[in-house]
Amino acid sequence: MELKNKKAIITGGSRGLGKATAIAFANLGIDIAITGRNEEKLKETVSELKTLGVNVFYEVFDVGNYEEVKVGIKNCISNLGTVDILVNNAGIAAFGSFTEMEISVWEKIIQTNVLGMYYVTKEVLPYLIDKNEGDIINVASTAGLNGNANVSAYSASKFAVIGLSESLMKEVRKNNIRVNTLTPSTIASDMALELGITDGNPEKVLQPEDFAQLIVAGLQLPRRAMMANASLWSTNP
């Protein structure tokens, strides 16, 4: 499917998976609005993306704050002129035992990873329904397929994302909207490196650009075909 001149919103787009996806989109001629909480990082990424010859905008907001989301998404769509693709990438993680993790940390993970995705999608979806076409890519995790010790909050959030995403997919297929649920294993993203869960060895460990390639592959399928869900693993980390 031809993607040039499509309009995309990418949450958490200033670094890691979001930035890699934005670069891949820009190389295909897709105009982009990226969102995040760090304005300096957003500005740096926008400057880099503009060298690729597309229109790029940014909005600063916390996906876990619905009032901020409403204003931010409205501005994104106003700047882009319309929206065709939403990549729900923004997310946070923390590790700790069930008894020791602070309740506030647990709540923040759910607020950002689950409600954040809900808030953003709620604001974008009416535009796609009006167009009777669109793509929503929801970034989950293999942690949403199987639980593990010391990741209860993160795992619970990603289980919820998968349920939300798969339910939405079945609801909006009739509107020619494709909803993709992606469940990558550990990727050498900024977040994974900061948390110390991978050394990021590019010879062995999944890189953000690998994940971006998967997203693009799903979008390039004919409109009659939809990659409903997919997992991406490192071959031999």
d(CA 164, CA 110): 13
For residue 195, pLDDT over 90 is answered with no
For residue 199, pLDDT over 80 is answered with no
Smallest Cα–Cα separation from 133: which of 177, 100, 171, 163?
Answer: 177
d(CA 130, CA 48): 32
Smallest Cα–Cα separation from 112: which of 75, 69, 59, 170?
Answer: 69
Mean pLDDT value of segment 50-70: 98
Model pTM? 0.95
Tokens found for residue 98: 């069930």
Residue 154 among the catalytic residues: yes
- Per-residue confidence (pLDDT) for residue 196, from 0 to 100: 73
Locus of tokens 């994940």: 211
- Give residues with Cβ within 8 angstroms of 99, minimum separation 6: none
- Per-residue confidence (pLDDT) for residue 102, from 0 to 100: 97
- Per-residue confidence (pLDDT) for residue 161, from 0 to 100: 98
Mean pLDDT value of segment 34-49: 98
The lowest-confidence range among 1-15, 142-156, 174-188, 194-208 is: 194-208
The dihedrals phi and psi of 154, each to the nearest 5 degrees, come to -65, -45
Mean pLDDT value of segment 190-210: 80
d(CA 52, CA 23): 8
In the chain, what percentage of residues exceed pLDDT 90? 89
Mean pLDDT value of segment 53-74: 98
* Alpha carbon 51 to chain centroid, angstroms: 23
Distances (CA, A) of 94 to 28, 136, 138, 227: 34, 26, 20, 29
- Per-residue confidence (pLDDT) for residue 233, from 0 to 100: 92
DSSP 96-140: --TTTS-HHHHHHHHIIIIIHHHHHHHHHHHHHHHHT-EEEEEE-
- Per-residue confidence (pLDDT) for residue 120, from 0 to 100: 98
Distances (CA, A) of 116 to 26, 101, 189: 25, 21, 20
At 128-151, the pLDDT tens digits run 999 999 999 999 999 999 999 999
CA end-to-end distance (rounded Å), the chain: 33
Distances (CA, A) of 18 to 12, 41, 138, 173, 177: 6, 12, 12, 25, 21
At 146-184, the pLDDT tens digits run 999 999 999 999 999 999 999 999 999 999 999 999 999
For residue 193, pLDDT over 80 is answered with no
Q: Which of 58, 118, 119, 154 is catalytic?
A: 154
- Per-residue confidence (pLDDT) for residue 33, from 0 to 100: 98
Mean pLDDT value of segment 205-216: 94
Which architecture characterizes domain 7-232 according to CATH?
3-Layer(aba) Sandwich (3.40)
- Per-residue confidence (pLDDT) for residue 236, from 0 to 100: 87
